[in-house]
Chain A
Amino acid sequence: MTNVLAVESLSKQYGPTTAVDGISFQVARNEIVGLVGPNGAGKTTTINIILGVLEPTGGSIRIEGIDVATERSRALECTNFAAVYAPLPGNLTVYQNLRIFGMIYAVKRLSDRIERLLRDFDLERFRDVKAGVLSSGEQTRLCLAKAMLNEPHLLLLDEPTASLDPATAQDMRAKIRALADERRCGVLWTSHNMYEVEDVCDRVLLLSRGKILLEGDPKTLPRAHGKDTLEELFIAVARE
Chain B
Amino acid sequence: MLPLFAWVAIDMVLWGFITKYLNAVSAAGFDFVPVFLGAVLLWDFFTRVMHGVTMAFMEDVWSRNFLNIFATPLSISEYVGGLVLSSIATSSVGLVVMLFLASSIFGLSFFAYGIALIPFLLVLFLFGIALGILGAAIVLRFGPASEWFIWPVPALVSPFAGVFYPISTLPQWMQHICWALPPSYIFENVRAIVAGGTASVSELMVGAGLAVIDVILVCWVFVRVYRHSVRTGLIARYSAESVS
Q: Does B65 contact A89, Cβ atoms closer than 8 Å?
A: yes
Stretch at the interface among B30-38, B68-76, B122-130, B204-212: B68-76
Residue of A nearest to B232 (CB): A14
Q: Once the chains bind, are B72 and A86 in contact (CB under 8 Å)?
A: no
In the docked arrangement, what's the CA distance between A77 and B71, Å?
10
Residue of A nearest to B75 (CB): A73
SS of B interface (majority): helix
Q: Is the CB of A53 within 8 A of B63?
A: no
Which residue in B68, B75, B233, B240 is a CB contact (below 8 Å) of A88? B68
Residue of B nearest to A73 (CB): B73
Please indicate the chain A residues that have their CB under 8 angstroms from the CB of B227 in the complex: 55
Task: Tell me if B64 and A86 are in contact (CB < 8 A).
Answer: yes
- Tell whether, in the assembled complex, residue A83 and residue B235 are in contact, meaning their CB atoms are under 8 Å apart: no
Q: Which residue of B lies closest to A56 (CB)?
A: B231
Contact A53 B236 (CB under 8 A): yes
Q: A86-B239, A88-B65 are in contact. Are A104 and B230 (CB under 8 A)?
A: no
Across-interface contacts of A44 in B (CB, < 8 A): 236
Q: Chain A, 89-104, contact with B by CB distance < 8 Å: what is the 0/1 string?
A: 1111000000001001
Cβ contact within 8 Å between A90 and B236: no
Scoring A residues 43 to 77 as 1 if CB is less than 8 Å from chain B, else 0, what string do you get? Answer: 01100100111110000000000000000111011
Please give, as numbers and ranges, the residues of chain A lying within 8 Å of B64 by CB-CB distance: 86-87
Give chain B residues whose Cβ lies under 8 Å from the Cβ of A87: 64
Contact status B239-A85, CB under 8 Å: yes
- Which residue on A lies nearest to B60, using beta carbons? A89
Please state if A14 and B233 are interface contacts (CB–CB under 8 Å). yes
Q: Given A52-B71, A55-B227, A105-B73, list of 10 further CB < 8 A pairs?
A: A45-B236, A53-B71, A72-B73, A74-B73, A85-B243, A91-B59, A101-B68, A101-B72, A106-B73, A146-B68
